[in-house]
Amino acid sequence: MGCNTNMPAGVITTCGANFEKIKNVIILKTGTKFANADEVRSQAKWISAMHVDETAWAGKRINSYETTTDDKNIVTFDSTKKKATNKPIPSALFMLDTNFCDTQMLLNVLSNSSNEIALQLDDDSIHMARTIDGKFKGFLGTLDMTTKGFFESADQGNNAPMTFFGDSYEEFQNAALIPMDFDVTSLAATYMPVGLTLGANGAYSTTTGIINLQVNVRCDLSGKDDVVIADFDFVDSNNLSTLAVTTLGTAVNGAYDVTVQKDLAPVNLAVGDFFKVRVKVLASGKIAYLSNTLYISVNE
């Protein structure tokens, strides 16, 4: 595309970035901001976001995408004059280039969830929103993945559809396109934590305080037998005080007897209590392994 410098706000001395095809969708935690364009272009910032701060996911490569933004409403007046009466908020359908295991994970994580996305284009540039104070962020919206249950072997590219429904037209109106000299998605392949799958093999016992939890390496399903007490990370609870793992049994193919208690003088949880826990393994202050978050409700 050519570069038209004759614009109402003045000329530009060099040709701006051209439109390129979207190749990756980078999912960001809501509220994640980059202070300026140099931070967006900083490998260290992206590595920290993936490896320490948990604010950026690995970019999801796409096979194809379709803009599903509604057409604007055009009204014709008696004078035959026409006028647009709205500015539809952008939306899109992305066909992810992924595998069965990742698809199953995303089906559980992206269920009408509020997230932000940055778009990586074919030339590696990043398409993001720009805030009024000059910072950069992802486009806020709702991400959702569903499955029809039966995979299309003839067209593998249609097996993982993800929809995005934007929250704001203005974010796209005030967007920025930031040239990059590296591929954020390839960087993620090196620095993202290794995934784990955390599940429960039974219910929590109010008598013993024990629940048997299963920790597997995600996708290959091999048990991870070197988890320690400090690796259990409590994300939420019903305001339980000093919730902690107090003892941990020896692993058997990734299965652990985990004693979970509350209060300064530790006591077992009671019926009606709940907690959310994950496994988060750190190495030199960086996240080496990370599991899904598991919800446990005490019912017995």
Residue 207 has a pLDDT of 96
Q: Is residue 278 part of a domain?
A: yes
Would strands 74-76 and 82-84 be described as parallel, antiparallel, or unpaired?
antiparallel
* Torsion angle in degrees (nearest 10) through CA of 95, 98, 100, 104: -70
Any domain includes 48: yes
Domain-terminating residue out of 152, 167, 191: 191
Helix orientation angle between 43-51 and 184-191, rounded to the nearest 10 degrees: 40
Domain hosting 214: range is: 194-297
How many angstroms separate the CA atoms of 279 and 292, rounded?
8
Same domain, 117 and 168: yes
pLDDT recorded at residue 1: 42
**DSSP H/E element including 15:** none
End-to-end CA distance of the chain: 66
CATH number for 211: 2.60.40
- pLDDT value of residue 2: 45
- Residue identified by tokens 């597997």 is 216
Per-residue pLDDT of the chain (300 residues; tens, 9 = 90+): 444 555 565 555 555 567 789 999 999 999 999 999 999 999 999 999 999 999 998 788 899 999 999 999 999 988 788 999 899 999 999 999 888 888 888 888 899 999 999 999 999 999 999 999 999 999 999 999 988 788 766 666 678 899 999 999 999 999 999 999 999 988 888 888 999 999 999 999 999 999 999 999 988 878 999 999 999 999 999 988 899 999 999 999 999 999 999 999 999 999 999 999 999 999 999 999 999 999 999 997
Residue 148 lies in a domain: yes
